[in-house]
Each structure stands twice: as structure tokens, then as C-alpha cells.
Amino acid sequence: MKITMEADYAIRIVYCISRSGSRMDARSVSEEVNVTLRFALKILRKLVMSGAIVSYKGVGGGYALAKAPGDISLKDVIEAVDGPILINRCLGRGDCSRVSDKSRCPFHVQFARINEMLADELAKVNFASLDGEEGPGGQKAPKQG
């Protein structure tokens, strides 16, 4: 499974705003994350609509986290731009060719179990647990080099 480039940048954008500790304008965000301003604005709109960040208009405006960093998870951000976490199309909106008898499909059952585990793990990682602060289960998050 691979998250989209848009979700990857969304994670980096939320992380950037979270580390700033204050409002950031879109241009500063795009420069910090190294993404075009146009793409950053598209992602910022989705993040505002999801409730992860808030937008302020006018002089001194910009973007800030809508919640504490510990209340925003990787799952929240990925779902804000990509929709629900789905590792296989059969878990989606009835795209399964065996939709009438999922109980007989051994893949559907296993994919559903794995999908739930992945979503749960992504929900455990929040933006306060990054940078070597305590992560899920009280473990220290590894330093990235």
C-alpha cells in the first residue's frame, strides 16, 4: 500500500504548521514543505474542510492547527485528502465482484482485518508524538536522520 503524494504533502503541511506554533501563510508553508503554492492551497483547503486546521483571512491571516497536535493523527490527515483508508477496492463502496457473498471470499475477510489494523495504527500516531516525543504505547519515536 502506498499513500498518495497529496496525502504525503498534507502530513508534512500539518507537521510544519504544528512545529511553527503559530499561524503560517500559504506561501511560507509551500516553501517550508517544498511544494508549489497552488498544490499547497489545494491541500490546505481540504485540511480546513476536515477540521484539522483553520484559516484566517486578511492581514495577519494564514493557517493554524484547529486542535492540539496530540488530537490530530496521521489517519485524520490521510483521510482528509484521500478519503477512508482502504487497502483494497473490495473494501470500498461495493466494488467487490463477490459483494453478494463476502463470507465465501477469504481475501475480503483478511483484507478487512489488515485494513482495520492499519487504520488503528495510523490513528495512534499524532503530531505531538513526532520529533522523539513519546509515541504510541509510551515508546520513544525513533529519530529520523
Of the residues 16, 37, 65, which one is the last residue of a structural domain? 65
**Which residues, 6 or more positions from 127, have their beta carbon under 8 angstroms from its beta carbon?**
14, 15, 18, 65, 69, 70, 72, 73
In this structure, of 26-40, 66-80, 89-103, 129-143, the range with the lowest mean pLDDT score is 129-143
pLDDT of residue 130: 83
The pTM score is 0.81
State whether 103 and 131 are in the same domain.
yes
On whether residue 74 sits in a domain, the answer given is no
**Mean pLDDT, the chain, integer:** 85
> For residue range 122-139, what is the model confidence (pLDDT) as tens digits?
999 999 988 755 444 444
pLDDT above 50 (res 91): yes
Q: 30, 10 in Cβ contact below 8 A?
A: no
Q: 95, 89 in Cβ contact below 8 A?
A: yes
State whether 10 and 60 are in the same domain.
yes
CATH code for the domain of 19: 1.10.10.10
For residue 35, the enclosing domain spans 5-65
Question: How many domains in the chain?
Answer: 2
> For residue range 19-53, what is the model confidence (pLDDT) as tens digits?
998 899 999 999 999 999 999 999 999 999 999 99
State whether 9 and 58 are in the same domain.
yes
Of the residues 38, 65, 92, which one is the last residue of a structural domain? 65
pLDDT of residue 99: 56
Mean pLDDT of 108-121: 90
